[in-house]
Amino acid sequence: MENTPHVILVGAGAQQFAVENGFTLESVELSEDAKKAYAEWLKKSEYKPVINIENKKQNGPFAPNFFDDGTANHDTMGLVAMDAMGNLSGAVTTSGMAFKLHGRVGDSPIIGAGLFVDNEIGAATSSGTGEEVIRICGTHLVVEFMRQGYSPEMACKKAVQRIVKRDKEKAKTLQVGFLAMNKKGQYGAYAIQKGFVFSVKSNNENQIHQSKYLL
């Protein structure tokens, strides 16, 4: 974004740009454990993310992305922050989801889906099934709700409601969580299901919170 007129590059072009700018191309061979997990998954070939699997089992040879039983984990880490001058920023990092189609793009790299920051209003990030977040432009929506005057928690709740309203049955099998902070430094989160956890660090607080949830 600083050295080209573009905001996003993908696939072969992104790889070419990275190599030209000093990144080393590395092998992406699967480990033996991951190969086994993949062979197991192929038996049914179901793309079926498991809700909050990171809370169910934290270890195993394939952690953090694969578990002994071949199920897929998700692991997006989103961060929103305010500095001493009151400026907002955000970041999101993910390895995406296991057992997806080659070429699948999740929410995390898409500004307005997995992350959105408007320094006048607030910042938001998301975790969970990226497809559902992309469908509603999730974090952009959260920031727009804050612009309308909703608290960060209420803004996150309204975005979660938007996902659930699209398909209530499907939503029962999914997890999506949003985390937001507004220009006053107030924060909040909301998820579809129980189990979305976030932590807060400030001059007054250093604590892990369980987010509220809809279903």
- Interface size with ligand ASP, residues (CB under 6 A): 13
**129 to 148: interface string for ligand ASP, x by CB under 6 A:** xx------------------
Separation between Cα atoms, residue 215 and residue 157, nearest integer Å? 11
Binder among 94, 151, 161, 173 for ligand ASP (CB under 6 A): 94
CA-closest candidate to residue 197, choices 64, 54, 71, 65: 54
Beta strand ranges found along 96-161 (DSSP E): 115-118, 122-128
Stretch of 59-67, 128-136, 144-152, 185-193 contacting ligand ASP, by CB under 6 A = 128-136
Is residue 152 within the footprint of ligand ASP (CB under 6 A)? no
Write out the DSSP string of 64-96.
TTB-TT-PBP---EEEEEE-TT--EEEEEE---
> Does residue 76 carry a catalytic annotation?
yes
Least CB distance to ligand ASP at residue 20 (A): 26
Binder among 90, 106, 138, 188 for ligand ASP (CB under 6 A): 106
CA-closest candidate to residue 122, choices 89, 154, 93, 92: 89
Residue 94 vs 151, nearer CB to ligand ASP: 94
Catalytic residue among 4, 24, 71, 76: 76
Residue 78 vs 122, nearer CB to ligand ASP: 78
Is residue 76 within the footprint of ligand ASP (CB under 6 A)? yes
Is residue 211 within the footprint of ligand ASP (CB under 6 A)? no
Pairing of strands 115-118, 176-182: unpaired
- Pair 108, 130: CB distance under 8 Å: yes
Is residue 151 within the footprint of ligand ASP (CB under 6 A)? no
Burial of residue 108 (number of CB atoms within 10 Å: 0-12, 13-18, 19+): buried
Residue 92 vs 117, nearer CB to ligand ASP: 92
Q: Tokens standing for 127?
A: 């975790």
Q: What residues form DSSP beta bridges with 67?
A: none
Query: Mind telling me the catalytic residues?
Result: 76
Interaction site with ligand ASP (CB under 6 A): 74-76, 94, 96-97, 106-108, 127-130
